[in-house]
Amino acid sequence: MSETRPTQPRRLSEVAQWDTETDVAIVGFGGAGACAAIEAADAGAEVAVFEVASAAGGSTALSSAEVYMGGGGGTRVQRACGYEDATEDMFNYLMAAQGDLADEAKIRLYCDESLAHFDWLVAMGAKYKDSEYKERAIMALTDDCLLYTGNEKAWPFRDIAKPCPRGHNLEVDGDNGGPMLMGILTEQVERRDVRVEYDARALALVVDEVGTVQGLVVRMDNQERNVRARRGVLLAAGGFAMNREMLEHYAPVLAQANIPVGNPGDMGTGILMGQSVGGALIHMDQGFITLPFYPPSSLTFGVFVNAQGQRFVNEDVYHARLAHHAIQQLGQGIYLVVNHDDYHHPPYLNAEIAGTGETIEEMAEEIGLPPGNLSHTIAYYNEHAANGEDPLFHKSSEWLKPIEPPYAALDCTPGSGVLYPFFTLGGLDTLPTGEVLTMDKRVIAGLYAAGRASCGVPRTAAGYASGLSVGDATFFGRMAGKRMAAAPPRS
C-alpha cells in the first residue's frame, strides 16, 4: 500500500472499516477550527477536532488577535469612543481595499454580521475595553481596544468610504491577545461535548465514488485511523507560510520575504487535501507582506524612495500596503528619508542607516542614488508639505511637514537584512458557508474550509488591515460550523 498523503485522497472502497465516527470532523485547532467546533456543538452536532500540535492555538495564538469589526452604527466600543460606523462604509472600504481580488459575497456577509460577531466573541468571554488607542501603531501594546489598523484614512480609500477605526484589541497588556483569545476559545470548546485529539496528523481525505467527502485518515498514536464524518470535514489547518517548497512554487514573491509568520503546522496540509478532491485554489501567489516601519509614528513624516530617488506611495498607508509597493519597485533600493530629529529606531525593522547628510545631495551620494533626483523629490515634497499638500500621493496633511536637515535615510531594501514578515493568503475557494468549490464553482459535498486554508476576505497585502485574518478565520469558522451542523447526516 502506498504512503498516505494529503494530495491523494483515499477511496471509500479502500476503507476496510471506520475506526471512529463523528458528525463534524475539524482539522486544526486554531481560531477557525475552535469557532467552528463551538458553533457546530451548539447546534447539536457531534464534533471531533484533530490538531497536529500538542495543544490548541494555531497561528491565531501567535497573532495579536485583533479582530476587524464595525458597521451597523458601531460596535459597543466604537460607539463608546464616539464612532458611528456605517455598514456601507465598512463594505465599500473592504471592497476597494481588496480591489480586483475582492470576494463580494464574503465581504457582504462579514460586514452585515460584524456586530453580531462582536457580540458572539464577547459572549464567549472576550473582553474589549471601551477605549481607543490613538497612536499610529502595528498593534496596541496597552489594554486599549479600538485602533486604526488599515488604510482607511489614507488616499485613495478615504475618498471612497468614511474612515473609521475597526481594529479591536483585547483587554490585555503587551502583545498577548493571541494566547488570550485562544485560551478563551479553547475553554469554550472544552466546556462542550467536543472530542479533541492532539498530536493527530490529518493524512488524507476519504472520498466516495461520486466525489463526496465521507471522512478522513488521521495518524494518532502512531496508527492510521479512518474517521467517518457524517456531516462533513472542515479544513482549518492554516496556510503554507512554513512550506518552503510550496512558497517557491506557488508564491515566489512571498519567498523573497524573510520572516514567515505562523506556526510550524502551516504547511499547507489543508490546502493540499482540498485540492486532492478537486477543490479550486485561488490567489496562491498572494500574501500578507509587510515592512514594519512604525512605530515610531514619527517616521511617517519621512518619505520612502526607490532606487531612482522617487517616491512611490503615500507613506501614511498601512505597513503592508507600503511593503506591497516597495517590492514592486525596479532596481535595488528602498530608503526611508527623514529629518534626523524625527528619527527614532523602529524596533521591528532591523534596518541600517544607509546615509546621512546636511544636504540631500551629500546623503544621496553616500547611498549611491543617481545625483540630482532625490534632491528634487525632497524639494518638491517640502514645497507642498509646507502648505499641507501632497500633489503626488495625497498623504494626509496630518503627516505632512517639510523634511529639514540634517537628514538620515534608513535602508529598507528587500534582501538587505531588513525584516519583511509574511504569511499566505491564497487557498481553497469557498462559499461564505465554508463549502469548498471546484473550478466550475460546484460544491464538493461534505467538504468545508476556513481560515488561511481558504482564500477569505483578506487577499492582498495592498489592502490588508490588522484584524482581517483573525476576523475572517473566527467569523467564517463559525459559519462553517453552523452549516456543517445543519447538513443532513449521511447514514
Binding part of the chain for a copy of itself, among 27-35, 129-137, 274-282, 296-304 by CB under 8 A, reads 274-282
Query: Taking Cα atoms as reference points, which of 159, 65, 96 lies closest to residue 321?
Result: 96
Out of 142, 297, 416, 438, point to the residue binding a copy of itself (CB under 8 A): 438
Candidate list 122, 124, 220, 255; residue touching a copy of itself; CB under 8 A: 255
What's the CA gap between 454 and 237, in Å, rounded?
A: 9
Closest separation between CB of residue 338 and a copy of itself, Å? 21
- The number of angstroms, rounded, from the C-alpha of 440 to the middle of its chain's C-alpha atoms is 26
What is the SS3 assignment for 188? helix
Q: Is 275 in the site for a copy of itself (CB under 8 A)?
A: yes
Span of 32-40, 56-64, 199-207, 244-252 interacting with a copy of itself by CB under 8 A = 244-252
Q: Which three cell numbers stand for residue 33?
A: 477550527
Rounded CA gap, 364 and 425, in Å? 37
Minimum CB distance to a copy of itself, residue 235 (Å)? 14
Q: Which residue, 87 or 310, is less far from a copy of itself as judged by CB?
A: 310
257 Rama sector, left if φ>0, alpha if ψ -120 to 50, beta otherwise = beta
Question: Whole-angstrom Cα distance, residue 411 to residue 235?
Answer: 40
Diameter over CA atoms, the chain: 79
User: To the nearest whole angstrom, how small is the minimum distance from the Cβ of residue 380 to a copy of itself?
Assistant: 6
Q: Give the separation between CA 90 and CA 166, rounded to whole angstroms.
A: 9
* Ordered strands of the 146-147 beta sheet: 67-68, 167-168, 146-147
CA distance 436 to 225: 24
8 binds a copy of itself (CB under 8 A): yes
Closest by CA position to 131, among listed 118, 144, 148 = 144
Query: Which one of 54-62, 125-133, 270-278, 351-359 is the stretch in contact with a copy of itself (CB under 8 A)?
Result: 270-278
Cell of 460: 492582498
Site for a copy of itself in 93-152 (CB under 8 A): 99-101
Q: Which residues contact 312 (CB under 8 A, 6 or more apart)?
A: 304, 305, 306, 325, 326, 329
278 contacts a copy of itself (rule: CB under 8 A): yes
Choose one: 1-9, 42-50, 359-367, 395-403; the region binding a copy of itself (CB under 8 A): 1-9
Binding of residue 4 to a copy of itself (CB under 8 A): no
Residue of the chain from 105, 358, 376, 486 that contacts a copy of itself (CB under 8 A):
376
**Which three three-digit cell numbers place residue 229?**
464524518
> Of these, 68, 91, 157, 312, which contacts a copy of itself (CB under 8 A)?
312
Chain centroid offset of residue 347 CA? 21
Per-residue x/- track, 177-216, a copy of itself (CB under 8 A): --------------------------------x-x-----
Angle of helix 468-486 relative to helix 114-124, nearest 10 degrees, comes to: 90
Residue 373 binds to a copy of itself (criterion: CB under 8 A): yes
For 183, the grid coordinates are 485560551
Cell of 272: 493540499
Binding residues for a copy of itself restricted to 383-402, rule: CB under 8 A: 383, 391-393
Q: Which three cell numbers stand for residue 279?
A: 477543490
Tell me the closest approach of the beta carbon of residue 45 to a copy of itself, in angstroms.
Answer: 28
Contact window for a copy of itself (CB under 8 A) among 82-90, 175-183, 272-280, 360-368: 272-280
Which residue among 313, 385, 410, 485 contacts a copy of itself (CB under 8 A)? Answer: 313
Position among 7, 359, 387, 397 found at the interface with a copy of itself (CB under 8 A): 7
Binding site for a copy of itself (CB under 8 A): 5-8, 11, 13, 99-101, 156, 209, 211, 246, 249-250, 252-253, 255-256, 272, 275-276, 278, 280-286, 308-313, 325, 328, 330-331, 370-373, 376, 380, 383, 391-393, 429, 438-440, 442
